[in-house]
Amino acid sequence: MPQILVEGLAKTYRVAERDPGTWGAVRGLVRRRWRTIEALKGVDFSLEAGELLGFIGPNGAGKSTTIKILSGILQPSEGRCEVGGLTPWRDRIRHVARIGVVFGQRTQLWWDLPVIEGFDLLRDIYSVPPDRYRRTRDELVGLMRLEKLLDQPVRQLSLGQRMRCEIAAAMLHEPSILFLDEPTIGLDAPSKLAVRDFVRVLNKERGVTVILTTHDMHDIEALAERVIVIGNGTILADSPFETLRQGVLAERRMFIDFEADAPDLAGLDLAGVTVHGRDGRALELAFDPRVIAAPQLISRITAAHSVADIHVDEPAIEEVIARFYDLHGAGEA
């Protein structure tokens, strides 16, 4: 029995359509026209305990609707969803006692309170026994290096410091599942790395199941073994990230520095290769390794021209995802 089971999950909203302008708003008071929005159109997946799932998709694709249903704050219109044997929206209180949720854009701590007092209050909200609380808290404080932050009011923390405290706060009651909604949004590079490290430790060493939504593809690359791509309310792909990359964009990039100005390569037999950029002596080629392997390409070029340096790279992950959305017509509406 998987820890999270989702079957045929669908959610439709009815929103009032409003004509533009003041007059339209007034008219809307009298006669309303409703428009139905299908946020989810039948989503199925399951997750075993201890997995780390990346959940990605353009804005409005249905990511946050799914997360809201899984965390018990939204009821679906149709479908089944069980988390640890409970139906989240029906057994809300028992369900939320077993999950932790971090919203990157919202705090769960108390703005005016020192961090440690917010932690203490969460202990009482979740009824964590005192000695177990002390042990968990001290571990989390050590792991996230929060010692110096504990006595500061939350409003005085930087975003990165706050996010470390937020994740620790979400783990105080030792949930078995952690939902992270854009945990690295707006963070500087060191803070992003710290958050990723922490999530990795929680998942690998503590066996916490993690569901991560993000627009930062480096989060996905660094953390997720499995990725679900959602678009237009359906699951477009559910696979390891590498599989996704190869399926969508097998293309590689070759960066060549020539001894002289970058030459015209028209005379060479270079099927499956396109010139992607050219700047003085530097040339960037895109090639399909299934048509022409990198060593072959290198030897053909070096045979004809003298080359100073070569390296081969994969296209940026953002490009892979953007290409994927395009293929499925799932770009932002």
Partner 1 sequence: MDALRLYGRYTAVSIRSQLAYPGSFLMMSFGQFLVTVIEFVGVWALFQRFGHIQGWRVGEVALFYGLASVIFSVADAVTRGFDIFGSVFVKTGNFDRLLLRPRTTALQLLGYELRLTRIGRLAQGLIVFSIGVHMTGFSWTPASAALLAWALAGGTALFSGLFICQATLAFWTVESLEAMNVLTYGGEAAAEYPLDVYARWFRDFLIFVVPIAAVTYFPLVAAMGRTDPLGTPAWALPLTPLAGFAFLALSLWIWGFGVRRYTSTGS
Quick one: which of 108, 152, 176, 246 contacts partner 1 (CB under 8 A)? 108
Amino acid at 317: I
Candidates 27-35, 89-97, 256-264, 291-299: pick the segment binding partner 1 (CB under 8 A): 89-97
Q: What b/e readout covers 157-184, taking b as 16+ CB neighbours within 10 angstroms?
A: beebbbbbbbbbbbbbbbbbbbbbbbbb
> Of 96 and 146, which CB lies nearer to partner 1 in the complex structure?
96
Quick one: which of 117, 197, 221, 238 contacts partner 1 (CB under 8 A)? 117
Quick one: which of 63, 68, 137, 196 contacts partner 1 (CB under 8 A)? 68
State yes or no: residue 288 binds partner 1 (CB under 8 A).
Answer: no
Which backbone phi and psi does 63 adopt, to 5 degrees? -60, -55
Decide: 52 and 212 in contact? Cβ < 8 Å. yes
Q: How many residues bind partner 1 (CB under 8 A)?
A: 29
Decide: 317 and 221 in contact? Cβ < 8 Å. yes
State yes or no: residue 72 binds partner 1 (CB under 8 A).
Answer: yes
Closest CA to 255 of 315, 180, 167, 197: 315
State yes or no: residue 275 binds partner 1 (CB under 8 A).
Answer: no
State yes or no: residue 155 binds partner 1 (CB under 8 A).
Answer: no
Closest CA to 228 of 216, 215, 245, 240: 240
Minimum CB distance to partner 1, residue 158 (Å): 21
State yes or no: residue 127 binds partner 1 (CB under 8 A).
Answer: yes
State yes or no: residue 125 binds partner 1 (CB under 8 A).
Answer: yes
Distance CA 85, CA 95 (A): 9
Quick one: which of 8, 50, 126, 193 contacts partner 1 (CB under 8 A)? 126
Quick one: which of 1, 23, 29, 106 contacts partner 1 (CB under 8 A)? 106
DSSP secondary structure string for all residues of 226-270: EEEEEETTEEEEEEEHHHHHHHH---EEEEEEESSSPPP-TTS--
Distance CA 189, CA 165 (A): 17
How many distinct helices (H) and strands (E) make up the chain? Answer: 11, 13
State yes or no: residue 283 binds partner 1 (CB under 8 A).
Answer: no
Quick one: which of 8, 10, 49, 110 contacts partner 1 (CB under 8 A)? 110
Task: Retrieve residue 165's tokens.
Answer: 């405290």
> Of 125 and 294, which CB lies nearer to partner 1 in the complex structure?
125
Q: What b/e readout covers 63-88, taking b as 16+ CB neighbours within 10 angstroms?
A: bbbbbbbbbbebebeebebbbbebeb
Quick one: which of 19, 48, 78, 112 contacts partner 1 (CB under 8 A)? 112
State yes or no: residue 29 binds partner 1 (CB under 8 A).
Answer: no
> Of 13 and 147, which CB lies nearer to partner 1 in the complex structure?
13
Q: HSE of 187 in the Cβ direction (CA atoms, 13 Å)?
A: 25
State yes or no: residue 89 binds partner 1 (CB under 8 A).
Answer: yes
Quick one: which of 25, 26, 73, 304 contacts partner 1 (CB under 8 A)? 73
Candidates 44-52, 124-132, 218-226, 257-265: pick the segment binding partner 1 (CB under 8 A): 124-132
Residues forming the site for partner 1 (CB under 8 A): 13-14, 65, 68, 71-75, 89, 92-94, 96-97, 99, 101, 103, 106, 108, 110, 112-113, 117, 121, 124-127
